[in-house]
């Protein structure tokens, strides 16, 4: 789509629209069951970011059958199906292949009112910016892959990644959000850049107001930094205005898996929105720009 929205939309012509997405990725945690849960929540997030209700899903599994036992694959699928059941989304089929590396994910179809689609464009100067989940996931999963993540921090990250964005989506709809996107592979700043570019505005972010998983900064200090996040950081370099050190900018650029929703909402409705969402925070506001200003 021209706006790089989170999912494709097809109007049915009767006031309803199909919303469709697909997401597949390699393991990000050690537990096969949790990886399946995260993959499902991550795929569903694109549907929620558009204000739709998930209906059906097709699952995809790529599996190195000669290297990994099928009982591990069964755990991956069990995790994915459990989260799809939580979302009341029916898995109607899927496809599996023999591949060199394990991959898992879903194509999801949702339903929304054609005049109630949420988009990453439409924000206006003066709107508040709300983030519904903490950052740090990419840094933490990098540490997990390197065997350097404290178990309790890994557990907290898994809890964040497996939390569905359904409640945040419903709150955004009920509060007439101006623009919404989910924060995933491009990091907070990358997805906010898309929102500002497609709405022809700018934004100000207060780093001190951004929720970040405790322990993230310490891992970043140990160079737990992925290549995808580094690409995010370079991409937004000419678009941001800040005097902050590199550490906070890296956290704001960190590639997330199954992150929260970034919601632009009229300032008069932000307090009510936050009351509906545990752990969400107002992190800044939309302004006339250009670019993104990052304050302490």
Question: What does the pLDDT look like over 168-217, one tens digit per residue?
Answer: 999 999 999 999 999 999 999 999 999 999 889 999 999 999 999 999 99
* 128-295: CATH number: 3.90.650.10
pLDDT at 198: 86
Separation CA 77–CA 105 (nearest Å): 9
Domain residue spans of the chain: 8-113, 128-295
Separation CA 86–CA 164 (nearest Å): 9
Evaluate if residue 55 carries a pLDDT over 70: yes
Mean pLDDT of the region 240-250:
97
DSSP string, 132-165: -S-B-HHHHHHHHHTT-S-HHHHHHHHHHHTS-S
Evaluate whether 22 touches 107 at the Cβ level (below 8 Å): yes
Separation CA 288–CA 203 (nearest Å): 7
From the number of C-beta atoms within 10 Å of its C-beta (0-12, 13-18, 19+), residue 9 rates as middle
Q: What percent of the chain has pLDDT over 90?
A: 97
Q: At 2, is the pLDDT very low, low, confident or very high (cuts 50, 70, 90)?
A: low
**Strand 281-287 versus strand 202-206 pairing type:** antiparallel
Q: Which fold has domain 8-113?
A: 60s Ribosomal Protein L30; Chain: A; (3.30.1330)
Question: What does the pLDDT look like over 125-160, one tens digit per residue?
Answer: 999 999 999 999 999 999 999 999 999 999 999 999
Evaluate if residue 6 carries a pLDDT over 90: no
SS3 category, 50: coil
pLDDT at 4: 78
């Amino acid at each position: 789509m021209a706006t790089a929205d989170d999912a494709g939309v097809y109007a049915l012509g009767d006031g309803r629209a199909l919303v469709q997405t697909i997401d597949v990725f390699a393991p990000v945690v050690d537990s096969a069951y949790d990886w399946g849960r995260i993959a499902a929540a991550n795929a569903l997030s694109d549907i929620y970011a558009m204000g739709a209700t998930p209906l059906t899903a097709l699952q995809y599994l790529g599996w190195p059958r000669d290297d990994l036992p099928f009982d591990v694959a069964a755990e991956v699928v069990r995790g994915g199906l459990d989260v799809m059941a939580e979302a009341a989304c029916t898995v109607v089929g899927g496809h599996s292949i023999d591949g060199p590396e394990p991959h898992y994910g879903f194509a999801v179809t949702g339903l929304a009112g054609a005049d109630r689609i949420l988009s990453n464009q439409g924000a206006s100067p003066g709107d508040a910016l709300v983030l519904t989940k903490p950052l740090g996931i990419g840094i933490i999963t990098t540490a997990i892959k390197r065997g350097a993540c404290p178990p309790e921090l890994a557990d907290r990250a898994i809890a964040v990644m497996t939390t569905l964005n359904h409640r945040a989506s419903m709150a955004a709809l009920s509060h007439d959000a101006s623009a919404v996107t989910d924060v995933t592979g491009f990091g907070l700043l990358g997805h906010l850049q898309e929102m500002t570019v497609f709405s022809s505005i700018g934004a100000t972010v207060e780093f001190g107001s951004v929720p970040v998983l405790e322990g993230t900064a310490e891992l970043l200090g140990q160079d737990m930094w992925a290549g995808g996040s580094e690409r995010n950081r370079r991409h937004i370099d000419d678009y941001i205005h800040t005097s902050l050190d590199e550490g906070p900018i890296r956290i704001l650029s960190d590639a997330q898996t199954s992150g929260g929703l970034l919601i632009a909402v009229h300032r008069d409705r932000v307090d009510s929105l936050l009351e509906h969402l545990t752990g969400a925070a107002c992190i800044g506001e939309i302004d006339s720009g250009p670019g993104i200003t990052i304050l302490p």
